[in-house]
Amino acid sequence: MNDSAPLCRLDQIPDGDAIAARVDTAAGGFELIVLRQGERVFAYHNECPHAGRNLDYAPGRFLVRDGQLTCAVHGATFAVTSGACLGGPCRSGLVAMPVEVVEGDVRLR
Ligand code: FES
């Protein structure tokens, strides 16, 4: 069993939307985008492959619609379920982190 701290509760993520979650490490940590589609969750580093900026338009607030996440900086779009670049100035996808839901907690796998 994974005993790391949960990223959040599943019900903290509005269905079809995303929140930010902080992962603390000895090296200082990083921030994830945690997206929800029903009972499924997906997590990616909050770093756009276009220019290395965070994707949120305000801290922890993301542009998510119709299964696509749009970077708020220059408009690159990514698939929620894979992180693949779908359009805009990105040439590669988002860096995924494997997550799972255990008893309502969203955790890194
Ligand atoms: S930094 Fe995301 S599209 Fe440019």
Instruction: For 65-98, write each residue's pLDDT tens digit.
Output: 999 999 999 999 999 999 999 999 999 999 999 9
**pLDDT digit string (tens) for 18-36?**
999 999 999 999 999 999 9
Q: Are 74 and 88 in contact (CB under 8 A)?
A: yes
Which residue type does 80 have? V
Question: Under a CB-based contact definition with an 8 Å cutoff, are residues 48 and 76 in contact?
Answer: yes
CA neighbor of 22 nearest in space, from 2, 5, 42: 5
Mean pLDDT of 90-107: 96
- Residue 106: its pLDDT value, please? 98
Distance (angstroms) between ligand 1 centre and the Cα of 70 equals 9
Instruction: Note the pTM of the prediction, 2 decimals.
Output: 0.94
State which ligand 1 atom lies nearest to the alpha carbon of 51. Answer: 1
Q: What pLDDT, on a 0 to 100 scale, did the predictor assign at position 2?
A: 52
Give the CA count within 13 Å in the CB-facing half-sphere of 41: 28
